[in-house]
Structure formats: C-alpha cells, structure tokens
A and B are shown apart, each in its own frame.
Chain A
Amino acid sequence: DAGVTQSPTHLIKTRGQQVTLRCSPISGHKSVSWYQQVLGQGPQFIFQYYEKEERGRGNFPDRFSARQFPNYSSELNVNALLLGDSALYLCASGGTGVATNEKLFFGSGTQLSVL
C-alpha cells in the first residue's frame, strides 16, 4: 500500500506569490494534518481536517488555508508568500477516527523556498 504522498517535492517561489501544496493520505484514512518545519526546528501544527471539516488550527495567519476533498486528499494554500514561509511542509495521515494523534503517518514533505 502507498504511504502518504505529497507533491511537489520541491518548490521555489518569490515573495508575494501564492502556492498550493497537495497531499494524498493512506488509503482508508480520513484525517489529514499539515505541519510546517522550519530549518533547525521541530514541526509546527497548521491544520487538521477530518471528513472534509476543519478540526484544528494552529497559530498561523489567515494567509494559510486548506481544504479536504471527498477522496480525503488535501491541499494547503499559502497566499502572499513571505521569506519566512520557507520551510518543509509535512502532511500527516491519521487513521479513521477523529482523534487521530495516536499514530500519525507522515509524508516526505514539500520543501518550499521563497526568494
């Protein structure tokens, strides 16, 4: 079975642009979470979606948004990119229940560089 897949793997954008990152969870998993990992730091929680509804949001500005589709895949959008948005963006697939932090399966991430 395929694990969590994220696309693209690398992305270069300039300040002020918009970016869309994509994630496909493990088959059968209904929850997707997004994390931002800045170089030298641990991942920081951005969003959790379960059954297409937002179930949690971290301390990120409104420039960050996400959605989950009927097939449980998800997109993370970031508008008006800043240099500080440069990071590894991780998607995590979390099982079939809403309380899915028991075991998260992480993708390899999308490395975003903002110039």
Chain B
Amino acid sequence: AQSVTQPDIHITVSEGASLELRCNYSYGATPYLFWYVQSPGQGLQLLLKYFSGDTLVQGIKGFEAEFKRSQSSFNLRKPSVHWSDAAEYFCAVAPWGANNLFFGTGTRLTVIP
C-alpha cells in the first residue's frame, strides 16, 4: 500500500535561515510526487511536483525539492525562509495512472524573527 511519511511534525526556523522538510514514500514504482502548502483557513496550494526527468524540481515562492530514488525521498528546501512561509506543508504521492493523492500528515512550520 502507498504511504507517505513526514517525520517532522513541527519545525521552527529563524527568518532568513535555510529550511529542509523531509518526506519519504513507500510505493512499488516511482509515483508522481507533490508538495502542497496550507495556510490557516485556506485550501492547499501546489508548490511543486515531480513526474520524471531532472530530480531537482523548482517550484513557486523560491522552493525546490530533490527526488532521491535510492532513499525514496522527496525533501523540500528553501535557502532563506520568510515570515510569510509559516504554514502547514504536505507531501503527497499519486500512483501512476491514479486520480487521487495520498498525503502525509504534514509538517507545521513556524518562523521566528
């Protein structure tokens, strides 16, 4: 069965510091991979996605993610965090050919001045 693990429930970083959010997945083949962000009272916004090709994916708001097949990981990074990045971040996978997403439990990001 497909599963997505986000081992960090809550991360606190200082504004301007770098950020890495971890995501590991379990699936028989390489699925489609996504990162979404959810601000309080808001729906989910797609940050970036990986289907194939270059394993380093650029997204919106200065985020990037790297797919590592050997580690079944798809970690999200940002070189310099802004206070507006405080939100909940979800990693998701979609099996090839499926129409639904499997989400992780999320990582809450707090940004301190």
Residues of A with Cβ closer than 8 Å to B? 4, 31, 33, 35, 40-45, 48, 50, 55-56, 58, 90, 92, 94, 98-109
Contacts A4-B43, A106-B44, A108-B41 hold; do A42 and B100 have CB atoms under 8 A apart? no
Q: Which of B41, B99, B105 has the most CB of A within 10 A?
A: B99
Interface contact B32-A109, CB-CB below 8 Å:
no
Q: Return the CB mask of B39-81 against A: 1 if under 8 Å, else 0.
A: 0011111100101000000000000000000000000000000
Interface size class of B (residues with CB under 8 A): 20 to 34
Report B-chain residues with C-beta under 8 Å of the C-beta of A105: 46
Complex Cα distance, B94 from A35, in Å, reads 14
Complex Cα distance, B102 from A100, in Å, reads 14
Residues of B with Cβ closer than 8 Å to A? 4, 32, 36, 41-46, 49, 51, 90, 92, 94, 97-106
Taking A42-B4, A106-B43 as given, write out 6 further A-B residue pairs in contact, using a Cβ cutoff of 8 Å, ordered by the A residue number.
A4-B43, A42-B104, A48-B100, A103-B49, A107-B43, A109-B43
Report A-chain residues with C-beta under 8 Å of the C-beta of B32: 101-102
Contacts A33-B100, A42-B103 hold; do A103 and B46 have CB atoms under 8 A apart? yes
Report B-chain residues with C-beta under 8 Å of the C-beta of A102: 32, 49, 51
Contacts A40-B105, A107-B43, A108-B42 hold; do A45 and B100 have CB atoms under 8 A apart? yes
Complex Cα distance, B49 from A50, in Å, reads 22
Contacts A55-B99, A90-B44, A108-B43 hold; do A101 and B105 have CB atoms under 8 A apart? no
Report A-chain residues with C-beta under 8 Å of the C-beta of B4: 42
Distance (whole angstroms) from the CB of B11 to the closest CB of chain A = 16
Complex Cα distance, B69 from A79, in Å, reads 43
Question: Pick the contact of A99 from B43, B45, B99, B102 — CB < 8 Å?
Answer: B99
Complex Cα distance, B106 from A50, in Å, reads 28
Complex Cα distance, B36 from A82, in Å, reads 29
Report A-chain residues with C-beta under 8 Å of the C-beta of B41: 108
